[in-house]
């Protein structure tokens, strides 16, 4: 029972990373959470039954660390986006962009309206 049970658990652990990212993309972590709870339950049962391979246990720790890093990264990005959104909203409401919007650059003269330089007329 050691082989197939832990091999299946290893596949589910690796697939859980895709499940996590899919949940983030779709803004629906329900399926991932349900799957993760199932993996956790099966992991504990395998460990308690003494059929857990050391490699599977190490993989579980590694996947858990990846999940933690991904969560921290996404939370940090969300905080940064919220801060920039607030600053942009404040700039819009205070009119900080008003000068940039009303100021237009002066048109540059076209080559056709320029008079030829003395050096070019001697060629």
Q: Please state the domain count of the chain.
A: 1
Which stretches of the chain score pLDDT less than 70?
1-4, 96-123
- Residue with token string 């030829």: 116
pTM over 0.85: no
Is residue 87 in some structural domain? no
Specify if 31 maps to a domain: yes
Residue 21 lies in a domain: yes
The two structure tokens encoding residue 47: 């460990």
Q: Which of 14, 68, 66, 9 is nearest to 40 (CA)?
A: 9
Q: Is residue 101 part of a domain?
A: no
* Both structure tokens of 12: 């589910």
Tokens of 65: 């660390």
**Inside any domain, residue 91:** no
Average pLDDT of the chain is 82
R_g over Cα of the chain:
30
Q: What is the DSSP letter of 114?
A: S
Q: What is the pLDDT of residue 91?
A: 79
**pLDDT for residue 44:** 93
Asked if residue 13 is part of any domain, the answer here is: yes
The answer to whether position 61 is within a domain reads yes
């Amino acid at each position: 029972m050691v082989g197939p049970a832990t091999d299946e658990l290893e596949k589910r652990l690796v697939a859980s990373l895709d499940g996590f990212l899919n949940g983030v993309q779709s803004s629906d972590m329900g399926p991932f959470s349900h799957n993760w709870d199932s993996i956790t339950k099966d992991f504990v049962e395998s460990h308690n039954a003494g059929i857990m391979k050391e490699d599977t246990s190490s993989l579980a720790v590694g996947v858990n660390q990846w999940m933690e890093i991904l969560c921290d990264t996404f939370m940090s990005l969300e905080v940064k986006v919220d801060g920039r959104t607030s600053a942009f909203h404040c700039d819009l409401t205070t009119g900080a962009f008003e000068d940039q919007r009303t100021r237009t650059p002066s048109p540059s003269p076209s080559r056709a309206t320029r008079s030829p330089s003395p050096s070019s007329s001697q060629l």
